[in-house]
Structure 1
Amino acid sequence: MSLSVSRSFARPFPLNGHFALKLLVLAVLGLLVAGPLVRILLETLSPDAISAWSDVTTGRLSRNLLWVPLTNTLILGVGVACGCVLIGGFLAWLVVMTDVPFRRTIGLMATLPFMIPSFATSLAWGSLFRNSRVGGQSGFLEGLGLTIPDWLAWGMIPTLIVLIAHYYSLAFTVIAAALATVNSDLVEAAQIAGAKRRRILLGIVLPVAMPAVVAGASLTFAGAVSNFAAPALLGLPVRMQTMATRLYGLIEVGQTSRGYVVAILLIAVSALFLWLGNKVLSGRRSYATITGKGGRAKRFDLGTARLPLFMVALFICLVTTVVPVIILIASSLAPSSSALFSNWTLHYWTGLSNPSIAQGQPGIWESPFIKSATSLTVGLGVAVAITSSIIGLIVAYVLARDGKGPLAGLINQISFLPLLVPGIAFGAAYIALFGAPIGPLPALYGTFPLLLIAGTAYLLPFSVQTGRAVISQVSGDLDESARMTGAGMMRRLVAITVPLASRGLAAGGLIVFVKIMRDLSLVVLLFTPTTPLLSVLAYRYASEGFTQFANAITVVILVISIAATLMANQLQAKSQPWLKS
């Protein structure tokens, strides 16, 4: 009798019902995530499109279609990964393991760059360093009489710098969390044995933090190779192509088959390097540093180097957070980028149409099109946050309450698959699947539902992760008690899980909202005049030379994103070890 009761409690709900729910979740994930990726592959294997593979890989145009963009993409990926690990690791070491002054301030500022869209940093770079080679417009420094070389204004070097400035906070967050777990007994033992600080750093701290270093490098590499905004704004004017920009160009001119091939290859490059990172980690036996014994934090005494290192860290944080925002605001007010801080005007914000200024373009708050884009962008962010949170919560519930078996494993793998897919490639996959009618369903290209579905699927991994975190805080006993009273799964979710985990779910929804608000790579291919989005409008204005309007729109995106992020942080109130004294 007791044995049967214990087995009953081990099962959250009846086996048949749970199996049916798993099948339903798997079908939804298959449609949202796997379906578009399979469709894009099938499109390139059709008789009419199979030649696109040879055109891209071995044809007479393959050098321009694939090999040069692939080389540039790998250079960016490796360069950004190395730069982010160096900068993020340096700041993480300072904040977590040293007595550098104002550690909390540095730790907070080091997490902010990822909140600023990469196209915002690219626009700020252009406002400062642009030279008259492209479009005849000069940046602020050239306006002061300085000669800006082409390699600093356009191409690979500025793109590398901008992407490192954008992504290093990812490496910082991952490495800082790992360093916070380093057992101080190891450091003290090495000091007692007479080891120097450099020896301790390289012989103890670095090996212990190696998983985080590899993870940070993998994440920043994947982000760099999939980034569209920075290479498009700083590279395309001098014909520097990456796989992301080449994919965009091919789809734009109607060469969809070749574009789909490039998308598949871009996915393969990103997935390959993420797999190599996991392979490196799995090859090590153990990284365990947390034991059952308590330990106090042990910080390196920097001595006379405290102030210089603090100044270096503060400079990095200011240049990557405060300076770009100041430049963007100034550029949205100045008639010319060559004179950012003089003759300010509100015309680009609230001015009426004037034929003598910007070809008669009214200010962004006097433009019905931009007002419509603002409403549509905010509405899309809210809708994606809601739908993604709902689906993510259901997926997380299934995995948390009965995560065993092949079906659960498949659900888990598919739900995190979008992390391997660059945003612009994911957008191309959705065009392949929903760009034409499917049976009785009409074509969705150029509609709000396509943006909603694509955004929900692409950001699903974040919602699932948030859902798993909040569900783990709700005891399974509550769910089991409600089940025994006859409450169904949806009833238990709505009446128990959601109310108890509402703050965490709201925080996760706000994070999704911020990501879709500032995302360009995913939506740039899905953009149409009937579905205008702020991020794409900012890119289009910048491409056409209307930098003040582009920067003003970007400031709007920044204000909304920062406000939502601060709200999420307040709700989440997550622990950040490096902020503790």
Structure 2
Amino acid sequence: MDFLRRPGLVPTLGVLAVLAALVLAPLLTIMGQTLGSAAWGDVLASRLAPNLFWRPLANTMLVGSAVALGCVLIGGFLAWLVTMTDLPLRRVIGFMATLPFMIPSFATALAWGTLFRNDRTGGGAGLLQGLGLHIPDWLAWGIVPTVIVLIAHYYALAFTVIAAALGSVNGDLVQAAAMTGASRRRILFGIVLPVVTPALLAGGSLAFAGAVSNFATPALLGLPVRMQTLSTRLFGMIEIGQTERGYVLAILLIAVSALFLGIGNRLLAGRRSFATITGKGGRGTRMALGRAKWPLCAVALALCLVTTILPILLLLAASLAPQSSALFSGWTLHFWTGAADPAFARGQPGIFQNPQLLTAIWVTLGVGAAVAVAANAVGLLTAIATTRWRIPFLSETANQLGFLPMLLPGIAFGAAYIALYGAPIGPFPALYGTPLLLGLALTAATLPYAVQTGRATIAQISGEIDEAARMTGAGFFRRIGAITLPLASRGLIAGLLLTFVSVIGDLAIVVLLYAPQTPVLSVLSYRYASDGFHQFANAVTLLILAISVIATLAANMLRGRKESPE
């Protein structure tokens, strides 16, 4: 009976119910619908299995492993320069190294095509072939460009994780090694790298998980030459109505991601000498680069510029040029505002003349705002349940469910939502093709970000304030509205921004769940690109980036007002 009287029991049970409906139920449904199904044999052991699973699996593992390695190398290199050396312009480079993840991967893929696309698949060639250069197929399409684009997108994750670890390296270790005459190379490879092994594995794991679940890049750069990954094959099965095979592929894709993350955790568990922070350690002097200072600065700036500014400039030029092969001549606004003309762009009007665009803008903004509010509300409640009340078993279960979507590929998550909510449930109608289903799936997928933001915010608010309000008779929701929300406003704004930006650029989930009557900007861009209308796709992608920038600036202004003294 004492357990039933514990403070926070009822709200915690409510949070668990919401998390079960958003996260657990779709996964259990997708597993239940494939039990005893012939789809397992079709995917794994039939004569179709090589094309359905084994070749896509090999491509997926190759892409994921190459991207993980590339991200650790590039992200670790930049993190070392910014954190531990006397590199000039460190702050600028550190800021720019975090930006690529905010640019949707399909934007970078479109920019790659603008430069390197050849005429193998028909349609217009890219700029380099237009200049008379021969672009081999392996550079224009398939595994190589997919890996390069995904490294350019995900290395920011590895940089963030590794930079944080390097920032905590005990300066006494480096100083002691330098005093004994150790070279810079020996210090780097003998001291620094071993002690940041957990960060290297974590950064590689995140990059691998992101790469194997990414749909947009392999779809744009691989499908035209029939290069399939598990994510694109899954999408193809759902699209042609072979849902059970698609669900099996979704389960296998989840298993691949979980297996790799489990291997990383096991490697970490086998090492115990990672301690880098002691009671007396301090930050030592930065490593002097000597004559290599400016050359390394130029390399770091070039990496950042190529992965942030260059793709945007290429997309802008390509949205104005009638042909990608002549990128800087004959610019026109037709692809933005032009009326339909049978003699131009196969009669396609500019994006602002397309009636679907305005609908897509409002649907995207509406879904993005609704998901940001819903996900952060659930995230805040989950954070309270897991950090303030700490009810045995229940709080830990809520914590695990809140972070589970981080391990699930987006396109597999979308398939799970089709399995559960795509058909009627009792008196409730089927949600497939409605904005509600899209919003629910995106809310669940963004929960890890919201929960993490909520936990960081709640940790800054003393529990004594909430307890004092409870003793005066204030109810739970009264305390949330009068105490938690005002005090947590700065953190919540950051969480809302992160969720909103990730939603409006998402393609992996929405490509399965959108419907013609509920278009979104990311799918509109993908459809334009798939149909060969690259200028229109570039224009829509730039619109998505503009909305992201405006949202970021607005959030910064709101946070600035919150921080200003009264």
Please indicate, yes or no, whether the TM-score normalized by the shorter chain is above 0.5.
yes
- Residue in 1 that maps onto 2:238: 251
- Residue in 2 that maps onto 1:302: 289
- 1:289 CA drift (Å): 1.6
Q: How does 1:233-244 map to 2 (within 5 A)?
A: 233-244=220-231
Does the Cα contact within 8 Å between 2:387 and 2:455 map onto a contact in 1? yes
Does the Cα contact within 8 Å between 2:171 and 2:281 map onto a contact in 1? no
List per-residue Cα deviations over 1:424-458 (Å, max 9, x = no partner): 00000000001110000000000011011111111
Change (3 A) 1:427 1:404: same
List per-residue Cα deviations over 1:478-520 (Å, max 9, x = no partner): 0010011011111111110100111110110111000000000
- 1:561 CA drift (Å): 1.3
- Residue in 2 that maps onto 1:42: 32
Q: How does 1:64-79 map to 2 (within 5 A)?
A: 64-79=51-66
SS at match of 2:513: coil
- Residue in 2 that maps onto 1:578: none
Distance 1:298 1:418 in 2: 41
Change (3 A) 1:571 1:169: farther
Which of the numbers 21, 29, 42 marks the counterpart of 1:31? 21
Q: How does 1:347-426 map to 2 (within 5 A)?
A: 347-426=334-413
Which of the numbers 84, 103, 108 marks the counterpart of 1:121? 108
- The one-letter code sitting in structure 2 at the alignment partner of 1:31 is A
Does the Cα contact within 8 Å between 1:129 and 1:140 map onto a contact in 2? yes
- The one-letter code sitting in structure 2 at the alignment partner of 1:309 is L
- 1:564 CA drift (Å): 2.3
Distance 1:214 1:533 in 2: 35
Whether 1:491 and 2:481 are equivalent positions in the alignment is: no
Whether 1:274 and 2:261 are equivalent positions in the alignment is: yes
Does the Cα contact within 8 Å between 2:174 and 2:284 map onto a contact in 1? no
- 1:293 CA drift (Å): 2.5
Whether 1:161 and 2:148 are equivalent positions in the alignment is: yes
Distance 2:8 2:95 in 1: 43
Does the Cα contact within 8 Å between 2:7 and 2:389 map onto a contact in 1? no
Distance 1:113 1:518 in 2: 13
Does the Cα contact within 8 Å between 2:385 and 2:398 map onto a contact in 1? no
- The one-letter code sitting in structure 1 at the alignment partner of 2:124 is Q
- 1:208 CA drift (Å): 1.3
Does the Cα contact within 8 Å between 1:380 and 1:452 map onto a contact in 2? yes
- The one-letter code sitting in structure 1 at the alignment partner of 2:35 is L
- 1:286 CA drift (Å): 3.9
- Residue in 1 that maps onto 2:136: 149
- 1:566 CA drift (Å): 4.4
List per-residue Cα deviations over 1:186-239 (Å, max 9, x = no partner): 111001111111111111100111111000000000000000001000000000
- Residue in 1 that maps onto 2:205: 218
SS at match of 2:525: helix
- Residue in 2 that maps onto 1:198: 185
Q: Mean alpha-carbon deviation: is it higher for 274-283 or for 99-108?
A: 274-283
Q: Mean alpha-carbon deviation: is it higher for 389-398 or for 544-553?
A: 389-398
Q: Scaled by the length of structure 1, what TM-score is found?
A: 0.94
- Residue in 2 that maps onto 1:8: none
- The one-letter code sitting in structure 1 at the alignment partner of 2:112 is W
Distance 2:73 2:186 in 1: 18
Q: How does 1:478-557 map to 2 (within 5 A)?
A: 478-557=465-544
Whether 1:317 and 2:294 are equivalent positions in the alignment is: no
SS at match of 2:86: coil
Distance 1:277 1:478 in 2: 40
List per-residue Cα deviations over 1:343-368 (Å, max 9, x = no partner): 10001111111111122221111222
- 1:135 CA drift (Å): 1.6
- The one-letter code sitting in structure 1 at the alignment partner of 2:26 is P
Which of the numbers 166, 169, 172 marks the counterpart of 1:179? 166
Distance 2:443 2:396 in 1: 21
Whether 1:289 and 2:288 are equivalent positions in the alignment is: no
- The one-letter code sitting in structure 2 at the alignment partner of 1:456 is T
- Structure 2 residue runs of 5 or longer lacking an equivalent are 561-566
- Residue in 2 that maps onto 1:576: none
Distance 2:132 2:546 in 1: 33
Which of the numbers 249, 264, 268 marks the counterpart of 2:251? 264
- Residue in 1 that maps onto 2:217: 230
- Residue in 1 that maps onto 2:563: none
Does the Cα contact within 8 Å between 1:118 and 1:229 map onto a contact in 2? yes
Does the Cα contact within 8 Å between 1:66 and 1:262 map onto a contact in 2? yes
List per-residue Cα deviations over 1:364-400 (Å, max 9, x = no partner): 1122211110111011100000111111111111111
Which of the numbers 402, 410, 415 marks the counterpart of 1:428? 415
SS at match of 1:134: coil
How many corresponding residue pairs?
559
Distance 1:324 1:96 in 2: 26
Distance 1:112 1:568 in 2: 16
- Residue in 1 that maps onto 2:564: none
Distance 1:79 1:177 in 2: 23
Whether 1:138 and 2:125 are equivalent positions in the alignment is: yes
- 1:182 CA drift (Å): 0.9
Distance 1:570 1:213 in 2: 35
Does the Cα contact within 8 Å between 2:30 and 2:416 map onto a contact in 1? yes
- The one-letter code sitting in structure 2 at the alignment partner of 1:41 is M
Does the Cα contact within 8 Å between 2:100 and 2:153 map onto a contact in 1? yes
Q: Mean alpha-carbon deviation: is it higher for 397-406 or for 417-426?
A: 397-406
Distance 1:369 1:424 in 2: 24
Does the Cα contact within 8 Å between 1:463 and 1:508 map onto a contact in 2? yes
Percent pairwise identity:
64
Does the Cα contact within 8 Å between 1:507 and 1:567 map onto a contact in 2? no
- 1:67 CA drift (Å): 0.2
SS at match of 1:520: coil
Q: Mean alpha-carbon deviation: is it higher for 287-296 or for 235-244?
A: 287-296
List per-residue Cα deviations over 1:231-281 (Å, max 9, x = no partner): 000000000000000000000000000000000000000011111111211
- The one-letter code sitting in structure 2 at the alignment partner of 1:201 is L
- Residue in 1 that maps onto 2:440: 453
Whether 1:87 and 2:77 are equivalent positions in the alignment is: no
- 1:569 CA drift (Å): 5.7
Change (3 A) 1:569 1:189: farther
Q: Scaled by the length of structure 2, what TM-score is found?
A: 0.97
Does the Cα contact within 8 Å between 1:511 and 1:568 map onto a contact in 2? no
SS at match of 2:511: coil
Distance 2:334 2:22 in 1: 43
- 1:401 CA drift (Å): 1.0
Distance 1:217 1:404 in 2: 34
Does the Cα contact within 8 Å between 1:423 and 1:522 map onto a contact in 2? yes
Cα RMSD (Å):
1.4
